[in-house]
Structure 1
Amino acid sequence: MTYADIHSIYTVILFVAFISFVVWTFIIKGKKDFDQAANLVFGDEQQKQQPKTKQESDHE
């Protein structure tokens, strides 16, 4: 095997790994996980909008 052969095989292996990662990330992992992660920033806002109960109030 020459250096060019090894370099070609290495390039093909990296390309297959990259395509596998893209497929796993965007197809197999699914939209559900991405939607859940996207809504994490709104978690605090939803808690603030809920009215305080008597146990959670500051001065009662």
Structure 2
Amino acid sequence: MEFATVHSILTVILFVGFVAFVIWAYSKKRKKDFDEAANLVFDDEPKSKEQETKRESDHE
């Protein structure tokens, strides 16, 4: 095999892998997981004053 043929085959394989990855990332099955990951930043915020007072009483 020539170098150009190997290079072409590798390019096609990488392109197919990229397309498969994009389809996987944007599939509806993954939406819930990605939404949860996007909201992880806000998990450390207290949800209400009641929970905040409960946390303070637990630390005492």
What TM-score, normalized by structure 2, do the two folds share?
Answer: 0.71
Aligned length, in residue pairs: 58
Which ranges of structure 1 fall in alignment gaps of 5 or more residues? none
Which ranges of structure 2 fall in alignment gaps of 5 or more residues? none
User: Which has more radius of gyration?
Assistant: 1
Secondary structure, counterpart of 2:53 in structure 1: coil
Alignment of 1:16-27 (within 5 A): 16-27=16-27
Which one has a larger percent helix, Structure 1 or Structure 2?
2
Distance 2:36 2:44 in 1: 14
CA deviations 1:31-56 (Å, max 9, x no partner) are: 11111111111111135742433851
Moved over 3 A (4+): none
What TM-score, normalized by structure 1, do the two folds share?
Answer: 0.71
